[in-house]
Amino acid sequence: MRTLEVTDKALATPIPNLDAARELRKSGYAQLEVDATHPLYSDPVVSLADYGVPSRSYYSRWNVTGKPIPGVRPDVMVRRDVAERLARINEFLGKTAVATAAFGVPVELFVDEGIRSVALQSKVYNEQYPNFLRSIYPDWTDEQIAEERNRRVARPNPSSPHAAGAIDLKFVVAGSEFDPDAGEHEEHNPVSYGVKHGEKWTLRPDYYETNGQAGDERFLQVRRFMWALMHGAGFHNNPEEIWHYGTGDKLAALIGGYQPYYGPVEGMPEFTGEQLP
C-alpha cells in the first residue's frame, strides 16, 4: 500500500483527464469473468464499524426515495480487504499534517455506502423510488415516473460494483459528530467536493481541472487529495462519480486493467429481518 507516499505534492498534481476511462466504462463490464482463483475471491463481508471507520449505510437514512427504507441496517458492509485498507487510510490521515494544512481541519473518511444487494436495489428501483415520485407528482404518467427513476436510480444488476464490494465515501472533520442526513446536502459538509446539483458532469472527478472558477480552488484540492489517497491505496474511481471507489469489482477492474476477483455477494446481511421490508 502506497498511501504513506501521499504528500502536499498531491494537492498540486492534476487529476488526469478521464474521458478515455468514461468511454471504457460505456463499453460495459458485465461480460468480464471473475477470477475464482484469486486469493481474495472469497474475501468475507465485514462491518466497517468493527474497523473503526465512520460510516452509515445510505438506505438506512435520508436517501433518494425520500425516507429511510424500513429494516435496512445502518452498518456499512464491505469486503474485509477493503475495510483493512480504509482503516489504514484513516490511521494515516490521523498522523499526517498534509490534509490539516490544506483544509484547515483534520479530516477522515466517512463511508456512505458499501455492498448493496441486487435484492435491495431491485426494491428501490421497482417500488420505493417510483412510489416516492408518485407521492410528490400525482399527475405524472407512468412514462414520466420511469424516465425520472432511470435518471436517478441504477438498474438492478448482478454486475453492479456495489453488489460486489464498491464504496461511496467523503471527507469529514475527524472526530466530529457528523450527521450523514444533513451531509446529504453538500453545503453541510465542511470538506465538500463541490458538486453542483442538477449538473451531472460536476460529479466527474476531473471536473474542476478544466472548469474551475474563482473560489473553486478548495474543491479542486479536496478532489486531488482524495484521488491521490485512494489510488495510493489501490482503489480505482468511477470516472462519473467523485465519491465512488472500488477494488476487485468489475468496474474497478475494467478501469484498472486487471481481472475482477469479487463477484456479487450472496445472502447479503443488510436487513434486520430475513425478508425484504
pLDDT, tens digit (0-9, with 9 covering 90-100), for 191-210: 888 887 768 889 999 999 99
- Note the pLDDT of residue 65: 85
pLDDT grade for 67, boundaries at 50, 70 and 90: confident
SS3 113: strand
Buried b (16+ CB within 10 A) or exposed e, 79-103: bebbbbbbbebbebbeebebbeebb
pLDDT grade for 71, boundaries at 50, 70 and 90: confident
What's the grid cell of residue 28? 460495459
Instruction: Examine the pLDDT at 3 and tell me if it is beyond 60.
Output: no
DSSP state letters, 2-27 = -GGG--GGGGGSPPPP-HHHHHHHHT
Domain boundaries, the chain: 3-114+158-256
How much of the chain is helix, strand and coil, in % rounded to 5? Answer: 45, 10, 45
- Note the pLDDT of residue 273: 43
Q: How far is CA 59 from CA 38, 55, 115, in A?
A: 31, 12, 12
Instruction: Examine the pLDDT at 276 and tell me if it is beyond 50.
Output: no
Partner residues linked to 236 by β-bridges = 246
Q: Of 15-19, 53-57, 62-66, 72-76, which range is least confident?
A: 62-66
pLDDT, tens digit (0-9, with 9 covering 90-100), for 26-65: 999 999 999 999 999 999 999 999 999 999 999 998 888 8
Output the CA torsion sign for 118, 119, 121, 125.
Answer: positive
Distance CA 226, CA 165 (A): 19
Which amino acid is located at 40 in the chain? L
Given a contact cutoff of 8 angstroms between Cβ atoms, the answer to whether 72 and 60 are in contact is yes
Higher pLDDT, 55 or 3: 55
**Residue 2 CB: number of other CB atoms within 10 A?**
10
pLDDT, tens digit (0-9, with 9 covering 90-100), for 222-268: 999 999 999 999 999 999 999 999 999 999 999 999 999 999 997 76
pLDDT grade for 277, boundaries at 50, 70 and 90: very low
Which amino acid is located at 38 in the chain? H
- Note the pLDDT of residue 99: 84
Ramachandran bin of 109, using left for φ above 0, alpha for ψ from -120 to 50, beta for the remaining angles: beta
Please give the DSSP secondary-structure letter assigned to residue 233.
T
What's the grid cell of residue 177? 459528530
Fold of 3-114+158-256: Muramoyl-pentapeptide Carboxypeptidase; domain 2 (3.30.1380)
Instruction: Estimate to the nearest angstrom the gap between the alpha carbon of 271 and the chain centroid.
Output: 20
What's the grid cell of residue 54? 465512520
Output the CA torsion sign for 161, 165, 170, 176.
Answer: positive
Q: How far is CA 151 from CA 83, 146, 169, in A?
A: 30, 9, 21
- Note the pLDDT of residue 70: 82
| Cβ neighbours for 42, distance < 8 A, ≥ 6 positions apart | none
Given a contact cutoff of 8 angstroms between Cβ atoms, the answer to whether 18 and 57 are in contact is no
- Note the pLDDT of residue 220: 92
Instruction: Examine the pLDDT at 272 and tell me if it is beyond 60.
Output: no
Q: How far is CA 252 from CA 29, 30, 64, 231, 246, in A?
A: 9, 12, 24, 11, 5
- Note the pLDDT of residue 2: 52
pLDDT, tens digit (0-9, with 9 covering 90-100), for 139-178: 999 999 999 999 888 888 889 999 999 999 999 999 887 7
